[in-house]
């Protein structure tokens, strides 16, 4: 059972999701506006927040940034917005996951279970991985590139750490979704692409000129500081 804070302005959707999540065993607090929802975050300390973007008082993206200023609670965005630029903006603002409307209560329940499993999973202890100029301290949740600290979201760090633990091997997108996101692969390929693209920017590279991240068309992604002979296989 989880304490779920649902911030959704549509009364019908709010009522339906509250019934479904309560039936699934969760304790649900439902709010119709961003500011009342933010007050609940500080007052009730939920385990997960379901955040609609089309709120009457504050735009959902701004509400997400405000929420991140007061709490690290996992946030699942529920939105009809589905363009890549929208997704990148949400991930950069601190979202842990997103579902696009319309979605089923069962789908949302699966996403809630996934983010809670990731939050509860014990982190590695005293484990530092070095790949060329990149150093990842898993116990301190710290990544350094050329002795400069990288500012990564939790998901970006988890993705980079997983690739680093398998450095030199091409990791499929399906494996990344199942192991890093801990959810079924179907429909989640775009999620990997967005995170890899955003991670590249923070590593100071591009797909055309990779330094550490290489995408092998039709196979997957590899983290390596070794430059292959001939043309680089990266193509994303």
CATH of the domain at 205: 1.10.10.10
Q: Give domain status of residue 104, yes or no.
A: yes
**Claim to verify: residue 113 and residue 32 sit in the same structural domain:** yes
Q: By mean pLDDT, which of 3-12, 75-84, 192-201, 227-236 is the weakest?
A: 227-236
Distance from C-alpha of 140 to C-alpha of 123, rounded to nearest angstrom: 9
Helices 189-203, 154-165: crossing angle, 10 deg rounding: 90
**Residue spans of alpha helices (H) in the chain:** 11-23, 34-44, 60-68, 84-93, 105-120, 154-165, 173-176, 189-203
Whether residue 139 is contained in a domain is answered as: yes
- Would 147 be classed as within a structural domain? yes
pTM for this entry: 0.58
Q: How confident is the model at residue 186 (pLDDT cuts 50, 70, 90)?
A: low
User: Does residue 32 register a pLDDT over 90?
Assistant: yes
- Shared domain check, 100 and 12: yes
Q: Which of 120, 145, 178 is a domain's end point?
A: 120
Lowest mean pLDDT segment, chosen from 88-102, 144-158, 216-230: 216-230
| pLDDT of 234 over the 50 cut | no
Which distant-in-sequence residues (6+ apart) come within 8 Å of 171 by Cβ?
Answer: 162, 163, 220, 221, 222
Question: 107 lies in which domain range?
Answer: 3-120
Please count the structural domains in the chain.
Answer: 2
**Kind and range of the H or E run holding 222:** strand 220-223
**209 DSSP 8-state letter:** S
In a domain, 232, yes or no: no
Rounded to 5 degrees, what are φ and ψ at 85? -65, -40
- Looking at residues 159-172, what average pLDDT do you find? 91
Q: What is the mean pLDDT of residues 174-199?
A: 79
User: Residue 122's pLDDT is what?
Assistant: 52
pLDDT, residue 3, reads: 93
Looking at residue 11, what is its pLDDT? 94
What average pLDDT does range 82-92 have in this prediction?
75
Phi and psi torsions of 52, nearest 5°: -75, 155
Q: How confident is the model at residue 82 (pLDDT cuts 50, 70, 90)?
A: low
Strands 134-137, 27-31: pairing kind: unpaired
Q: End of a domain among 71, 88, 120?
A: 120
Within a domain: 141: yes
Identify the pLDDT of residue 229.
Answer: 45
Does 162 lie in the same domain as 91? Answer: no
- Shared domain check, 23 and 50: yes
- What CA–CA distance (Å, rounded) separates 7 from 21? 14
């Amino acid at each position: 059972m989880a304490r779920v804070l649902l911030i959704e302005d549509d009364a019908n959707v709010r009522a339906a999701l509250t019934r479904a999540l309560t039936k699934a065993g969760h304790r649900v607090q439902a709010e119709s506006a961003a500011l009342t929802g933010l007050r609940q975050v500080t007052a009730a300390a939920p385990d997960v927040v379901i955040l609609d973007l089309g709120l009457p008082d504050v735009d959902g993206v701004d509400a997400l940034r405000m929420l991140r200023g007061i709490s690290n609670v996992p946030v699942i965005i529920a939105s009809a917005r589905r363009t890549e630029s929208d997704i990148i903006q949400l991930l950069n603002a601190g979202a842990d996951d997103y579902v696009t409307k319309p979605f089923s209560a069962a789908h949302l329940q699966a996403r809630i279970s996934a983010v809670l499993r990731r939050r509860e999973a014990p982190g590695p202890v005293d484990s530092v991985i070095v790949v060329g100029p990149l150093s990842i301290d898993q116990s301190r949740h710290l990544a350094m590139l050329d002795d400069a600290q990288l500012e990564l979201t939790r998901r970006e760090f988890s993705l980079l750490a997983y690739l680093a633990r398998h450095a030199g091997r091409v990791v499929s997108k399906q494996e990344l979704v199942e192991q890093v996101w801990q959810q079924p692969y179907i429909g989640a390929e775009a999620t990997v692409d967005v995170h890899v693209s955003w991670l590249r920017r923070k590593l100071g590279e591009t797909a055309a000129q990779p330094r550490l991240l290489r995408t092998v068309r039709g196979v997957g992604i590899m983290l390596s500081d070794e430059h292959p002979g001939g043309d680089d296989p990266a193509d994303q």
